[in-house]
Amino acid sequence: MVMFQSIFVLVASFVSCSAFTANGFHGKFARNKSSSTALSMAHTLVLVRHGESTWNQENRFTGWVDCPLNEKGIQEATSGGKILREEGFTFDKAYTSTLKRAIKTLWLILEELDLMYIPIVNLWKLNERHYGALQGLNKQETVDKHGKEQVLVWRRSYDIPPPPVDESSEYFPGNDPMYKNVPKSELPKAESLKLTEERFMSDWENVILPEIKSGKKILIAAHGNTLRALVKHLDDISSDDITELNIPTGVPLVYELDEVTLKPIPHPDAIAPLKGRYLGDQEDIRRRIGAVLAQTK
């Protein structure tokens, strides 16, 4: 009888360990410690808007201008990486734009995660919205000159682009050697959010989404408007509502996508209309969101 009990205990222990291996850290459905719900079949996608740039600090329309992070932006990116590490996140592949503020943000995050070896793909279609003739102008001075209503139409309407930049301008991407391999006909002179969405979503569908479907954990470090375009699609946000959405700099936004539908699984801590959750101090995150909104007062 004692021998039988010993064998039973040994078999039970083996089954328990096997189940942990299949469904714990080594299994396809492994969850990191940040998950607060019992999701057994989901894809992890994390989005981060680049840290504050020098032109963000100067309150200028940046668009495709390749300005760097400022000191605050470096700290924001580093803090974003730290909280991802503390929450137990890891990634298989990362995507970013061709603009240094997003690239540097990604590097700083991966350095904090000790993941600088993973593949990084730079996509020009992940670049910020092109602000046309507004690029380089101070946002508040532009409001003072043209009126808040007109600037908000240029800046926040879904389908009305600002005045286009001239092809002779330094701000036309066709004059930048970075885009020498991109047909000039594909390069924007000015974009609305709608045009930005159309530009980026082709790479989402054809480049990034297949990697997610394959089971890879994906990190995207990009820009306010390309990320707004993406969450509009993910969270099924209307064209009217997306114009009011503000994404704070340097704060990881975590989505768990259903393995079958690839739709976001709503998180209880999500800030509407998003279904993903921001990592970090929620009061501070709401303050940062308000700071983006106040840029044109």
Asked if 128 is an active-site residue, the reply is yes
Radius of gyration of the chain (CA): 22
| Beta strand residue intervals within the chain, DSSP E | 42-49, 93-96, 120-122, 218-222, 253-258, 277-278
d(CA 256, CA 35): 9
- DSSP codes of every residue in 167-211: TTSTTSGGGSGGGTTS-GGGS-SS--HHHHHHHHHHHIIIIIHHH
Where does 214-272 have alpha helices with state H? 224-234, 239-242
Annotated binding residues for substrate: 49-56, 62-63, 101, 128-131, 139, 155-156, 224-225
Q: Quote the crossing angle between the two packed helices 148-156 and 139-146, to the nearest 10°.
A: 130
Q: Is 46 helix (H, G, I), strand (E, B) or coil?
A: strand
Given 43, 76, 112, 128, the catalytic residue: 128
Annotated binding residues: 49-56, 62-63, 101, 128-131, 139, 155-156, 224-225
Given 50, 197, 223, 267, the catalytic residue: 50
Half-sphere exposure (Cβ direction) of 169: Cα atoms closer than 13 Å: 18
Report, as residue numbers or ranges, the catalytic residues.
Answer: 50, 128
